[in-house]
Amino acid sequence: MSFLRTALASLLLATLPYASADDELVTRPDVQDYIQQTAQQHGFSPDELAGWLQQVELKPNILAILDKPSTSRPWHEFEANFVNKTRINNGARFWRENAILIGDVSRKYQVAPEVLLAILGAETNYGRYTGSFRVADALATIAFNYPRRAEYFRGELTQLFLLAREEKEDPLSFKGSYAGAMGWPQFMPSSFRKWAQDWDKDGHHDIWNNPGDALASVANYLNQHGWQDRGDTLAAVNFNGDPSQLVADKFNLHYTVDELIAKGVAPIDEINTKQQAVLFTLETEPGFTQHFLGFNNFYVITRYNKSTLYATAVLKLADAIKAAYVNGDDLVKATPAPTPAKKPAKASARKK
């Protein structure tokens, strides 16, 4: 699900009515086929699966969001929504309050703490907005009523049932976004099962309420996707010629910087030309496009969310959080409003 649609989706969802449970869902032939196949492949009881699906409430308002065209805002509009004082100071404050935990997670997975905080800040503002939909409702709605994405979301629905069994929880108890993304990191169920971590070893991968589990899960995801400790992230460059073919391939590390230079890239600052990179563009001002190289760690963030806007925002937010943490910007309290001077009592009142 496109990260760029989340804010618009939340506004639209708030204005649309919810549907009640669809009692006929489990009688549909396609749902019966799903129940039988899932039961056979994963060792569930068909009655157990049918019982859960009978309790699902389909949400047609989700389909209205999926049918809306996705529009990508230019960087100069996008940036302020994610790289702003609220997220920066919240991140620095969270770091200060959880410094030992964050340091331990960072060292174990070899991922910079500010990057972990920036992802959690960009996704859910450090757990403040994790979604209020029952994940089963969201996934089932798309899986059975949205043919274009049905295969993927049926797979995610199955993953939800599997993770609920592994976590020893009711699959109807999990909450998340309108697309089924869960917890502080906004993991889909398949990502949860692959990457979520039980940091405190309590038997649960609690990415909804446990900061250690949430941080370690993001760190594990980045580590397993090839994050390089202290690796380069991005650099502004110039380009000579037509970059369209290279920019179209911006999510794949196919070329070294040397090879990109041969194709027209002109570095502005000194960089390691032996490392791999992707070329991408940002509209940094209205009508003005700037070229950038994204290196391995930039590429890894686009594995988390396939958007150069997202990856750039995360890295800029990370730098700002680190600066605020080091400088103590989050400790500066707002100047209180001056107390209004009391009006003098009326003469008649003073005489009493």
Contact status, residue 195 vs residue 187, Cβ threshold 8 Å? yes
pTM of the predicted structure, to 2 decimals: 0.87
d(CA 224, CA 222): 6
Dihedral (C-alpha) 50, 56, 61, 66: value to the nearest 10 degrees? Answer: -50
Cα angle, residue 96 at apex, residues 119 and 220 outer, rounded to 5°: 35
**Positions of the chain with pLDDT lower than 50, given as ranges:** 1-20, 334-352
Res 70: pLDDT: 66
Domain ranges for the chain: 3-70+131-181, 234-294
Res 331: pLDDT: 80
Structure letter (DSSP) for residue 346: P
| 182 three-state secondary structure | strand
Res 13: pLDDT: 45
**Which residues have C-beta within 8 Å of that of residue 44, sequence separation ≥ 6?**
38, 161, 165
Res 329: pLDDT: 78
Res 129: pLDDT: 94
d(CA 31, CA 24): 10
Mean pLDDT in the chain?
Answer: 89
| Positions marked catalytic | 123
Res 211: pLDDT: 97
Amino acid identity for residue 52 in this structure: W
First and final CA of the chain: distance in angstroms?
72
Which pairs with CB-CB distance under 8 Å and at least 24 residues apart come from 90-93? Answer: 90/121, 90/125, 90/126, 90/330, 91/117, 91/118, 91/120, 91/121, 91/126, 91/317, 91/321, 91/324, 91/325, 92/321, 92/324, 92/325, 92/329, 92/330, 93/330
Res 11: pLDDT: 42
Looking at domain 3-70+131-181, its CATH superfamily turns out to be Bacterial muramidase (1.10.8.350)
